[in-house]
A and B are shown apart, each in its own frame.
Chain A
């Protein structure tokens, strides 16, 4: 994730909330300067060397800072802040809530929270601390919320890659069979070898997170950490189901939920390469989906989603026994003759919903075969692009108005369009249109290109064309959201500072659990006010974070 101004501020705030000011200052320095050794950090931050080392231990333990020491030559250990891992801190509460929702067990939450706040533990170490936690660890491993942590996950990916490149170049140059090869051919060989190394590393990571092994069968020295991808997978599914609910309806959304559950079966990590093309393992069939729907606690009324007959009473039911081999009725809806939903088999009903999804304007589903009632594939990368586009349009509509969203869609469709054509197509007056294009440009959602008509490049004779670059626009939006999240945290800190006396009293051992008796009436009012305000801020932060996940993490 590239570090931007607001992201850096947010990372500082998050680390400050978790580890205090020294840790926050170190992270800020690393994000601003790049990689530094402990000595260089001491110089840059003016903190004592011992304080820096102490803070680095915690930061590395939580993988908020990654380290690199060249194994082939003596030299200092370099540290680099990892914005992705720092951003994960935001999800602490949500991961626990999701775990409770998924497992319906309260007792797993505190164990997971221990791992979130401490970064990682070995199985042995954690069980020594909490002897009764063995079973809980097993459950967390099985559900995929905890995964084995490997040493390379403490190292920056760029350094691992660079090391691999150096190693393979050395090998290629030493190899007498490659003497006749051109530099370009050697580079291709090295690139292939590096890709193999990185793929092996990813395979190692994936192998340890199948959720099928138990803690008992593991090496007791195995180190475990929280698997945020498990959280993201579930949240992505919820987001996509919500999208179907918005675009098609709630019943089809439940069918799609079952589709995605089958599609992601047994996974606790993203497998983006496998989500690109249909292949065995990522194709689901209608029978599987039906079984998944039938296993739900609350039955889904699939037939109730469809209009049974036309409004003009042209409907005539007729027996279709010959075609089906049993008594079957047909209705006429418009110009087509269809079997009423009530007369369809559950598998046919599921297929009807799946075809609705296939025909929707979004890449929800693609039919790839006919076995077991129909084989389906979720073109995830296309679908996520659709989700991002839709979410972006929604945000523009809410921030800048429906007319701005209309303009954005016109600009997107035409690729490049001048103001007059834009006004004609969007049926908006030039004056009003200019306000919206100005706002859109201010946020970086659209841009203006000047095309000179003559060599003198006179501004008056130039043609001005509006255009939209999705990636750039999304990055600008995410940057604004990072800023807004950082501001929300500042507001929370300010709120805590305002009520610090009350909060200090609440944390006292003698008061905790006896608030009703030991708080005065005024303090109770203040507490209610504080709780309400803080809750509002957390809701705001969660809304903002949802959009970051859509644009950066799914």
Chain B
């Protein structure tokens, strides 16, 4: 049973969502001068899983939990609660099963059982890490994995989404090509360019706002993501970056689009059979 004053204190704490309270703040919140009583109330709330403790730089903090959260933790076994607390603490970065085992000092079987149980109740979920694809990483069910974990917009389920990237590259190139040579895709195909002083070629922000305004991508792309796309187009020699930070399509990419190929060594130099990958040093 929880005392009325403890319930009032809990409700007052809940009003300031996710706030971490120091003892002094709690004293002012309770308007109770007797410190022993405050400690009693807090102990009551901790026993009922309505408050959890946190420590930073030798200062003790208290955080109020909702009733649903409290019921959830109350229904867990002590091992499950401990595993859950580590997973919760890891936040959007997630936590590796091996780290849980090391921190909790629980046996592998116990940890596995706890994880299975928590996953079954949809309290936690397993996520794939782009950096460490072989690791089993867990995080709270309601959280979205961080960009470091997912790899950003270019990854789908931990795999680089080549189709999405190639589609985006084609679309971005088309936009820049159209801005550089607006008449290049009209017949007859001939040189038709802007004068050398022309300064309105798109900058990175223009490409970004074009993607957003035309809803080209279902995934939210930031400026850094668009820059990565443009960089790849530069590496593909499809666009070039001018000294004043503007993007221009290369004439050779326009020619290639029209099927005018360069005079290379296609079919002239034989590509010998490559040695198997196992012969190369593992990276």
Chain A residues within CB distance 8 Å of chain B: 242, 246-252, 304-307, 311, 333-336, 338, 341, 352, 355-356, 358-359, 361, 393-395, 397-400, 402, 405-406, 409-410, 413, 418-419, 423, 425-429, 432, 434-435, 438-439, 441-442, 448, 450, 459, 464, 480-481, 484, 540, 543-544, 546-547
The yes or no answer to B75 lying at the interface (CB within 8 A) is no
User: Which residues, 193 to 223 on B, are CB-close (under 8 Å) to A?
Assistant: 193-200
Query: From DSSP, what is the main secondary structure of chain B's interface residues?
Result: loop
A426 vs B229: C-alpha distance in the bound complex, in angstroms? 9
Do B277 and A435 have beta carbons less than 8 Å apart?
A: yes
Do B283 and A419 have beta carbons less than 8 Å apart?
A: yes
**What is the chain B residue whose CB lies nearest that of A393?**
B237
Do B193 and A307 have beta carbons less than 8 Å apart?
A: yes
Stretch from B14-22, B27-35, B119-127, B267-275 that touches the partner? B267-275
Stretch from B47-55, B105-113, B154-162 that touches the partner? B154-162
Instruction: Tell me how far the C-beta of A185 lies from the nearest C-beta in chain B, rounded to whole angstroms.
Output: 47
Q: How many residues belonging to B are interface residues under a CB distance threshold of 8 Å?
A: 48
The 7 A-B pairs of least Cβ separation, nearest first, read A249-B191, A334-B200, A355-B196, A398-B264, A409-B235, A429-B160, A398-B266
Do A427 and B232 have beta carbons less than 8 Å apart?
A: yes
Contacts of B251 in A (CB 8 A): 246-249
Query: From DSSP, what is the main secondary structure of chain A's interface residues?
Result: helix
The yes or no answer to B78 lying at the interface (CB within 8 A) is no
Given A352-B195, A427-B154, A438-B277, A246 contacting B237 (CB threshold 8 A): no
Name the residue among A306, A400, A428 with the largest chain B CB count within 10 angstroms: A306
Contacts of A252 in B (CB 8 A): 191
A406 vs B159: C-alpha distance in the bound complex, in angstroms? 20
**What is the chain A residue whose CB lies nearest that of B196?**
A355
Q: What are 18 pairs between A and B in contact, CB < 8 Å? A: A249-B251, A252-B191, A305-B192, A307-B182, A307-B193, A307-B195, A334-B198, A336-B197, A338-B195, A359-B196, A405-B237, A406-B232, A406-B236, A410-B235, A427-B229, A438-B275, A442-B274, A481-B269
**What is the chain A residue whose CB lies nearest that of B228?**
A427
Contacts of B270 in A (CB 8 A): 484
Given A246-B262, A334-B198, A429 contacting B235 (CB threshold 8 A): no
Contacts of B4 in A (CB 8 A): none
**What is the chain A residue whose CB lies nearest that of B265?**
A395
A346 vs B26: C-alpha distance in the bound complex, in angstroms? 85
Contacts of B250 in A (CB 8 A): 247
The yes or no answer to B165 lying at the interface (CB within 8 A) is yes
Do B191 and A251 have beta carbons less than 8 Å apart?
A: yes
Name the residue among B251, B277, B283 with the largest chain A CB count within 10 angstroms: B283
Instruction: Tell me how far the C-beta of A439 lies from the nearest C-beta in chain B, rounded to whole angstroms.
Output: 6
Name the residue among B160, B250, B281 with the largest chain A CB count within 10 angstroms: B160
Given A394-B264, A441-B280, A464-B283, A336 contacting B160 (CB threshold 8 A): no
A306 vs B183: C-alpha distance in the bound complex, in angstroms? 10
The yes or no answer to B255 lying at the interface (CB within 8 A) is yes
Instruction: Tell me how far the C-beta of B179 lies from the nearest C-beta in chain A, rounded to whole angstroms.
Output: 10
Instruction: Tell me how far the C-beta of B156 lies from the nearest C-beta in chain A, rounded to whole angstroms.
Output: 12
Contacts of B262 in A (CB 8 A): 246, 394
Name the residue among B182, B192, B262, B265 with the largest chain A CB count within 10 angstroms: B265
Do B268 and A464 have beta carbons less than 8 Å apart?
A: no
A546 vs B231: C-alpha distance in the bound complex, in angstroms? 31
Contacts of A406 in B (CB 8 A): 232, 235-236
The yes or no answer to B252 lying at the interface (CB within 8 A) is yes
**What is the chain B residue whose CB lies nearest that of A306?**
B195
Do A438 and B199 have beta carbons less than 8 Å apart?
A: no
A242 vs B264: C-alpha distance in the bound complex, in angstroms? 12
A398 vs B159: C-alpha distance in the bound complex, in angstroms? 27
User: Which residues, 226 to 241 on B, are CB-close (under 8 Å) to A?
Assistant: 228-229, 231-232, 235-237, 240
A459 vs B280: C-alpha distance in the bound complex, in angstroms? 12
Do B182 and A311 have beta carbons less than 8 Å apart?
A: yes
Do B191 and A305 have beta carbons less than 8 Å apart?
A: yes
Do B159 and A249 have beta carbons less than 8 Å apart?
A: no
Do B265 and A402 have beta carbons less than 8 Å apart?
A: no
Contacts of A426 in B (CB 8 A): 232, 235
Contacts of B196 in A (CB 8 A): 352, 355-356, 358-359
User: Which residues, 26 to 69 on B, are CB-close (under 8 Å) to A?
Assistant: none
A416 vs B262: C-alpha distance in the bound complex, in angstroms? 29
Instruction: Tell me how far the C-beta of A163 lies from the nearest C-beta in chain B, rounded to whole angstroms.
Output: 42
Contacts of A338 in B (CB 8 A): 195, 197-198
Contacts of A418 in B (CB 8 A): 283
Do A335 and B199 have beta carbons less than 8 Å apart?
A: yes
Do B191 and A250 have beta carbons less than 8 Å apart?
A: yes
User: Which residues, 141 to 186 on B, are CB-close (under 8 Å) to A?
Assistant: 154, 159-160, 162, 165, 182-183
**What is the chain B residue whose CB lies nearest that of A253?**
B191
Instruction: Tell me how far the C-beta of A451 lies from the nearest C-beta in chain B, rounded to whole angstroms.
Output: 12
Instruction: Tell me how far the C-beta of A427 lies from the nearest C-beta in chain B, rounded to whole angstroms.
Output: 5
A398 vs B194: C-alpha distance in the bound complex, in angstroms? 30
Instruction: Tell me how far the C-beta of B256 lies from the nearest C-beta in chain A, rounded to whole angstroms.
Output: 10
Contacts of B252 in A (CB 8 A): 246-247
A341 vs B235: C-alpha distance in the bound complex, in angstroms? 33
User: Which of A335, A427, A459 is close to B281, meaning CB atoms less than 8 Å apart?
Assistant: A459
Contacts of A352 in B (CB 8 A): 195-196
Contacts of A427 in B (CB 8 A): 154, 160, 165, 228-229, 232
A531 vs B271: C-alpha distance in the bound complex, in angstroms? 27
A544 vs B242: C-alpha distance in the bound complex, in angstroms? 33
Do B265 and A428 have beta carbons less than 8 Å apart?
A: no
Instruction: Tell me how far the C-beta of A126 lies from the nearest C-beta in chain B, rounded to whole angstroms.
Output: 37
A429 vs B182: C-alpha distance in the bound complex, in angstroms? 34
**What is the chain B residue whose CB lies nearest that of A450?**
B281
A395 vs B262: C-alpha distance in the bound complex, in angstroms? 10
Contacts of B195 in A (CB 8 A): 306-307, 333, 336, 338, 341, 352
Instruction: Tell me how far the C-beta of B171 lies from the nearest C-beta in chain A, rounded to whole angstroms.
Output: 14
Instruction: Tell me how far the C-beta of B154 lies from the nearest C-beta in chain A, rounded to whole angstroms.
Output: 6
Instruction: Tell me how far the C-beta of A85 lies from the nearest C-beta in chain B, rounded to whole angstroms.
Output: 25
